Structure 1
Amino acid sequence: MIFETFLTGAILGFSMAAPIGPIGILCIQKTLNFGKLHGFASGFGAATADAIYGVIAAFGLTIISNYFIENAFFLKVVGGVFLIYLGINLLKSSKNLDINREIKKENLMLTYLNTFFLTLTNPMTIIYFTLLFSGFVVPKSGYYMSLILVIGIFSGSILWSGFLTLVSSKFSKKCSSYMEKINKISGMLLIAFALFIFSSALKQF
């Protein structure tokens, strides 16, 4: 029962993290620019936010989940603005990657916080978990099994981001001469995602 619950959570976390969106782009970009440690930090930030939303949904904290759902418009706007900020920073990023690599230790926490905040401001995450947990997924054995489920969600999200980081790191040397273009493309994609989020928010307004 414990393993089945953990596996269910891991599958949910993996399926939530797997689609390549803004988080995946940031994870790849950070890995290529600054190394595997930053890629893992990006994934850890996203997994932490997924786990928080998993706790809200799995433990039936309807007051909190309803607050996020009711304020989805505001969250989308905040998330979109943050995406544009990150996109512009990538477009303006330094061409000298060696300088960037020297400061990677100072920026590691910022890397974590970027993806944590970005995932936390995505209202679709809480909606996704709430809908799934409203049916067959929620354990009926109390808080202990719910905690196992949340740990599984965190592990599944970490598993995907770790895989993405390791794959990206294999191409870091080959891509080093193209990093300026990769950063620009990544920046434009993040801004495009932001515009899509704004469009979605306007339809909801």
Structure 2
Amino acid sequence: MASYLLKGILIGLLFGLPAGAIGAMTVQRTWSFGFKAGLLTGLGSSAADCLYAVIGAFGFTLVSDFLLQRQTIINILGGGLILMMGLRLICKKSEICAAQVKAAGKAGMFLSSFVIGIANPAAILTFLFAFSYFGIAGVAEPTDGISLVCGVFIGTYLWWGTLSAAACAVKKKTGSRSLRYMNKVFGWILVLFGTASFFRLLL
């Protein structure tokens, strides 16, 4: 049981390293609204990762087949959401962005990153490959599967917490830059990620 937990933590850390669009969102929200905002954004991504880890660990083939067969349309929706969020950051004033985030609240920060994280059904295959690489061909006991999934959550959330803390530290050292300027920078990063997701589909 403990070995499954440790393997899950390591897989979660490795899985979180390619930060992607959610990484940009985490840094932007930490920079704009503080450490807790970054943690909430990362929590949504970790929840999405855990859902796919559950499907992979317990072999829910009906669910995985259903999602993988529809991954093109799911990826289009996810890429469109990322693109829209990036364009909104570029176009809106900092005061408007702050008001929108305040209106959306904590649930909005969590849900936005959860939806983007869940819009990547291929993550199931990545988890299956990771489980196989670490010698987890199948989960014999439910407790082992739960330990594995808990480890994945801990590992991914450690990564998002570290990224949020790093963003806070950089902000303190570089001083307070224009919020509107930083929103535009992160907005363009999100636009690039959103555009790249459509190019991947074309290729």
Same fold (TM over 0.5): yes
Moved more, 102-111 or 158-167: 102-111
Moved more, 112-121 or 126-135: 126-135
Q: Identity of aligned pairs, percent?
A: 27
Partner secondary structure for residue 122 of structure 2: helix
* 1:111 is aligned to 2:109: yes
* 1:50 is aligned to 2:53: no
Does structure 1 conserve the Cα–Cα contact (< 8 Å) formed by 2:75 and 2:120? yes
1:105 is displaced (CA, Å) by: 7.6
Q: Which segments of 5 or more consecutive residues in structure 2 lack a partner in the other structure?
A: none
Partner of 2:24: 25
Length, aligned pairs only: 201
Partner Cα distance (1:69, 1:106) in 2: 31
The 4+ residue runs of structure 1 with deviation greater than 3 A are 101-106, 138-141
* TM-score normalised according to structure 2 size: 0.90
Query: CA 1:131–1:66 in 2, change beyond 3 Å: closer, same or farther?
Result: farther
Does structure 2 conserve the Cα–Cα contact (< 8 Å) formed by 1:65 and 1:126? yes
Does structure 1 conserve the Cα–Cα contact (< 8 Å) formed by 2:58 and 2:139? no
Partner Cα distance (2:184, 2:137) in 1: 42
Partner Cα distance (1:149, 1:102) in 2: 37
Does structure 2 conserve the Cα–Cα contact (< 8 Å) formed by 1:14 and 1:159? yes
Partner Cα distance (1:144, 1:189) in 2: 40
Query: CA 1:102–1:54 in 2, change beyond 3 Å: closer, same or farther?
Result: closer
Does structure 1 conserve the Cα–Cα contact (< 8 Å) formed by 2:77 and 2:119? yes
* TM-score normalised according to structure 1 size: 0.89
Partner of 1:127: 125
Instruction: Report the RMSD for the aligned CA atoms in angstroms.
Output: 2.1
Moved more, 51-60 or 71-80: 71-80
Query: CA 1:102–1:175 in 2, change beyond 3 Å: closer, same or farther?
Result: farther
Moved more, 166-175 or 147-156: 166-175
Q: Which segments of 5 or more consecutive residues in structure 1 lack a partner in the other structure?
A: none
Does structure 1 conserve the Cα–Cα contact (< 8 Å) formed by 2:82 and 2:116? yes
Does structure 2 conserve the Cα–Cα contact (< 8 Å) formed by 1:32 and 1:175? no
Does structure 2 conserve the Cα–Cα contact (< 8 Å) formed by 1:8 and 1:149? yes
1:129 is displaced (CA, Å) by: 1.1
Query: CA 1:179–1:202 in 2, change beyond 3 Å: closer, same or farther?
Result: same
1:95 is displaced (CA, Å) by: 3.0
Instruction: State the AA in 2 paired with 1:180.
Output: R
Moved more, 148-157 or 69-78: 69-78
Instruction: State the AA in 1 paired with 2:152.
Output: I
